[in-house]
Homo-oligomer: A and B are copies of this chain.
Amino acid sequence: MESLLNKPRLVQMAKDKGVDAFIATSPENVTYSSGYWALSQWIRRGPQVFVVLPAKDLEASRVIAPTSLLDQLVDQEDVWIKNVTRFGFFHVDKVEGPVSEADGRLLDLFGLPDEKDGLGALLKSLRSEGLDKGTLAIDEMGLMPGQWERLQQELPQAKIVPATKLFREIRAVKTTQEVERLRRVATIAERSVDAALKVARAGMTEVELARVFHTTTVQGDATPVLGCIGFGTRSAMPNVHPTNAALRVGDVIRFDVGGRYRHYRADIARIAVLGEPDPKIVRYHRALHEGVLAAFEAIRPGVKASHVFEVAMEATRKAGIPHYARSHVGHGIGLDGYDMPDLTPGNDQIIEEGMVMCVETPYYEFGWCGLQVENTVVVRKDGVELLHDTDGALRVLA
């Protein structure tokens, strides 16, 4: 079965690092490695789910989930793992007489013994699989304080290594399914910008424009996540949150936006100006745009992330912003808004086919405005493929 998880890459990583099993704990890595989207874990801090992935036998992988969240193991087609351990009390009833196949599978899960405590269930599972003497790569991000130490105490013969970064490395090269979801959500973001710009006019507030933007996102069956939309001088704030500030002729409108579709994130930036743009806006935006397009030319399998950074910076400076300064010109995207690779100065990571990246050249000038080009691409054999329709040229609204 196709999975979100890049299984060959996980297996290779296990070989390279001498890992016997990976253990996912954070919502991103749980959903990534199992296909299981455990609602409460995503919308709150606290609820825990664990996924154990023995590298030599992925079919023996196991999900350890709270009883209250079992239903989504049966009802989500992304889930490929068959072994389940449940913990915690949650009461359900059952109709008299026969039930559907899906309900039957669900009732089977509820019929499993209650292991009470999640970490205890994880320990038990590791021991019964003989993994308690191996090298365990544990995603530390989703652990509660003290749990790392408890695992070390209870598994004295295991070698426990942190895995949050390793999971990010595995996630960096997307599977086909992931690329299609990223394409869909990036396209939804782009269309949501279009819908907002279609109705933008003088006097309209940031909140009103955001409402149109998010409505379009929801109509595409995505969930709003990132909604930085600002006018005029406010657009210079990197994380500008919409207020009742009203749009005026000559204002820049900056969007740094994107929702979530079937768990996958979008993050694109677009700039529009209401009426004739100030020549400095046109000049600076063109420079930022050229920076991104130069990065596109530079991106191909085998080059270093830092090379892409240097190319984009130099192109932007040459094209019209000689003082342009940045800590990065982009980042991977997937289940998390910041996947690997980071397009940063010192980063030796090698670009690989199948990576999906947001390439961006933001410019924030307080007292003037913020400008930004941000596009999402997938790395193909010979270069990049854009995951949406347009590449972020300046839009002038009549």
Contacts and interface: CB of A to CB of B under 8 A. Distances in A.
A71 interface: yes
Contact of A144 (B103, B140, B363, B368): B140
Nearest to A93: B365
Contacts of A221: 207, 210-211
A221 B213 CA distance: 11
A202 interface: no
Contact of A148 (B145, B207, B237): B145
Interface stretch (A84-92, A127-135, A174-182, A289-297): A84-92
A366 B91 CA distance: 11
A89 B327 contact: yes
Interface string A87-107: 001111111011110010011
Give this chain's copy count: 2
Contacts of A142: 45
A106 to B, nearest CB: 6
A75 B240 contact: yes
Interface in A214-241: 214-215, 217-219, 221, 223-226, 228, 233-234, 236-241
A39 B239 contact: yes
B45 A366 contact: no
Contacts of A26: 45
B75 A238 contact: no
Nearest to A88: B327
A45 B71 contact: no
A72 interface: yes
Interface in A170-223: 207, 210-211, 214-215, 217-219, 221, 223
Contact of A366 (B43, B107, B240): B107
B93 A363 contact: yes
Given A28-B45, A75-B240, A214 B225 contact: no
Contacts of A327: 89-91
A392 interface: no
A218 B211 contact: yes
A27 B93 CA distance: 36
A358 B225 CA distance: 25
A367 interface: yes
Contacts of A226: 39, 43
B45 A241 contact: no
Given A95-B365, A143-B145, A224-B223, A45 B27 contact: yes
Contact of A224 (B99, B103, B224, B365): B224
Contacts of A228: 39
A239 B93 contact: no
Contacts of A98: 367
A161 interface: no
Interface in A115-173: 140-148, 162
A6 interface: no
A215 B223 contact: no
A17 interface: no
Interface of A: 26-28, 37, 39-40, 43-46, 68-69, 71-72, 75-76, 89-95, 97-100, 103, 106-107, 140-148, 162, 207, 210-211, 214-215, 217-219, 221, 223-226, 228, 233-234, 236-241, 243, 323, 325-327, 336-338, 363-368
12 contacts: A39-B226, A39-B239, A68-B239, A89-B327, A92-B365, A93-B364, A94-B366, A97-B367, A98-B367, A99-B367, A106-B237, A106-B366
What 8 pairs across the A-B complex have the smallest Cβ distances? A95-B367, A99-B367, A71-B237, A95-B368, A93-B365, A140-B145, A91-B325, A214-B218
